[in-house]
Amino acid sequence: MSDIYEALAKIVGKDYVSNQKEDRYFYGRDPGLMKPHEPDYVVMPRTTEEIQQIVRLANKEKTPVVPKGAGLALTGLVIPQKGGIVLDMKRMERILEVNEKARYVIVEGGTTHGVLKSHLQKHYPKLRHSIPDSPPIATVVANAVIHGQGRLTQQRGFNSDMVSGLEVVLPTGEICRIGSCSVSPYWFSKGPPLPDLTGLFLGWFGTTGIITKLALKLYPCKRIRDVMLFLTDRAELVPDIVLKLGHTEMMEDIVISTQPIPLRFRGNFFILVFITGDSEEEIEFKTKMAWDTLWEYFDSRDGGFVSITPDMKAPMMAMPSKDTTRFADVRKGGGFEYSGPIAPVDRYPDFVRKLEELASDYNLSYASAARVINGGHCMMFSFSYTFNRADPDEMDRAKKALDEAAEFSLEQGGVIWKPNIDEQKMMMARMDPNTLELMGKLKGLLDPNGIMNPGNWEAK
């Protein structure tokens, strides 16, 4: 056994550290298409203090540290590109506080969205958080770190916009509180009226520190929730339809999906419009507003609301959405990945054309779900391709399609969401040089030994 193994075992207990081949194999890859690379150790800490000790050890040994939630970004962000220690955070799973009056929850660094959802439903049924479409094992912290989106993103912005405080172990081992909690017992604000330092950690993929506690804003959970389905076969109309719906300021969530299978779906764009209300009257009013807003498309015969059977409605309403995961088995192959540019909504028709073109060029099955962000400031568009993990050629084609989609998205003015290491390089190559230099300076200042998730955001 190595000295590092023994030291880690001393910190977390021998049951929660491994250097066995099987564990390293599993933690060396994710469900996406990025090349695997194994860690030397997998560690499951239970406390902030244990993480502090691990970070100090890693600095001493100049060993990389990669904090990991469930590894569901699909873009290899927690594949330890240079080996070292993977910190599986999921033993830090407690919900520490729900402040009903100030509407926030404080969770530990490995608390899952599933557990938080269940806890709120059971104990605080009038409060909710923005649940992403990723499986319930996705962690709240990891989702915020990648600027994830969820069911409240149309109304409230990225899930990271909903953060209201952090506790972070810095790469040099200090424990630091960010936001109102740095001067107050309350975790109601991530920055204002102080300087907003959460930007040093959110979006950095664990390269600038390890978030051990996070406060997340909670929102009213209305008694009734419903979904409407607007159908059009003209992609060029989608941006206006979406912006008109956003104008009502009444929709919970707006998602546009398109897929070629079954055949009757091909060429159609399904705009899912979710609404919530505390009474039937509120639901009825919001429904009417949506209908009135889009009535002109009925008149012009360009689109219309379609009826939804209860069987269709159930999976649409589910949070998280199991249908998102099921896309991986379309080709009975256990894999899918998407490139997800964040871009202005008016890019939608061009993105759809490219989505279909790439699927045709590379002979792939595709689907896309685009989510409107913050009333229409932008959207997340997904170029999603499924692949068979037992077919290396198909995996190769899917990777090429995604690479091309990323290039296209950047050309169209998009910014790639949760970019893999290659896409990070693409973006840094286009980035304002002074911005890039600033990123490099910040990274160097925070992580002088370069131990934190190396390979990611290497802004030199």
Partner 1 sequence: MQEYADQIHRCFRCGYCTFPTDYSYFNCPSYRRFRFESYSTAGRLWLTYAWLKGEIDWSEHLAEILYSCTTCKNCVEQCPMKFAGDIVDWIVGARSDMVEKSKIPLEVGRFFEAVQVYGNPLKLPRAERDTWAGGINRYEPGDEYLFYVGCLGSYDENGQRMARGLAELLKQARISFGILGKEEECCGNEVYMLGEMGLFQMLAEKNIQRFKELGVRKIVTLSPHAYNTMKNNYPEFGAGFQVYHYTQLLYDLIKRNMIRFSQNQAKVTYQDPCFLGRYNKIYDEPRQILQGIPGIELVEMERNREDSFCCGGGSGNFVMDLLAGGEEIPSRVRVREAYETGADTLAVACPSCMTMFMDAVKEEGLEDRLTIKDVSQIVNESLPC
Q: Which residues bind partner 1 (CB under 8 A)?
A: 15-16, 18, 20-23, 25-27, 30-31, 42, 44, 70-72, 88, 90-91, 112, 114-115, 117-119, 121-122, 135-137, 322-323, 325-326, 328-329, 332-336, 388-390
CB count in 10 Å sphere of residue 176: 15
Q: How far is the CB of 108 from partner 1 (least distance, A)?
A: 14
Shortest distance, position 134 Cβ to partner 1, whole Å: 8
Give SS3 for 35. coil
The distance of closest approach from Cβ of residue 323 to partner 1 in the complex, given in angstroms and rounded to an integer, is 8
DSSP assignments along 336-393, one per residue: EEEEEEEE-GGGHHHHHHHHHHHHHHHT-EEEEEEEEEGGGTEEE--EEEEEETT-HH
Residue 380 contacts residue 26 (beta carbons within 8 Å)? no
Taking Cα atoms as reference points, which of 176, 202, 188 lies closest to residue 55? 176
Q: Please identify, using beta-carbon distances, which residue of 111 and 409 lies nearer to partner 1.
A: 111
Please tell me the distance from the alpha carbon of residue 18 to that of residue 316, in angstroms, as a whole number.
40
Shortest Cβ 12–partner 1 spacing (Å) = 11
Closest to partner 1 by CB, 68 vs 286, is: 68
SS3 110: coil
Please classify residue 314 by burial: count the beta carbons closer than 10 Å to its beta carbon, then call 0-12 exposed, 13-18 middle and 19+ buried.
exposed
| Pair of tokens at residue 287 | 């429904």
Closest CB to partner 1 among residues 293, 321: 321
Of the candidates 130, 145, 162, 137, the one whose C-alpha atom is nearest the C-alpha of residue 72 is: 137
CB of 28 to partner 1, least distance (A): 10
Q: Which is nearer to partner 1, 90 or 213 (CB)?
A: 90
Distant-in-sequence, close-in-space partners of 432: CB < 8 Å, separation ≥ 6: none
- In the complex, minimum distance from the CB of residue 176 to partner 1, in angstroms, rounded to a whole number: 27
Closer to partner 1 at the Cβ: 136 or 260? 136
By beta-carbon proximity to partner 1, the closer residue of 27 and 158 is 27
Q: DSSP for 128-165?
A: E----SS-TTSBHHHHHHTT---TTHHHH--GGGGEEE
Closer CB to partner 1, 282 or 323, in the complex: 323
- Closer by beta carbon to partner 1, 113 or else 347: 113
DSSP string, 260-281: --SGGGTT-EEEEEEEEESSHH
In contact, 335 and 387? CB cutoff 8 Å: yes
16/270 with CB nearer partner 1? 16
User: What is the nearest approach in angstroms of partner 1 to the Cβ of residue 114?
Assistant: 3
Q: How far is the CB of 433 from partner 1 (least distance, A)?
A: 39
> Is 311 exposed, middle or buried (CB count within 10 Å of its CB: 0-12, 13-18, 19+)?
exposed
Least separation in angstroms between CB 395 and partner 1 = 11
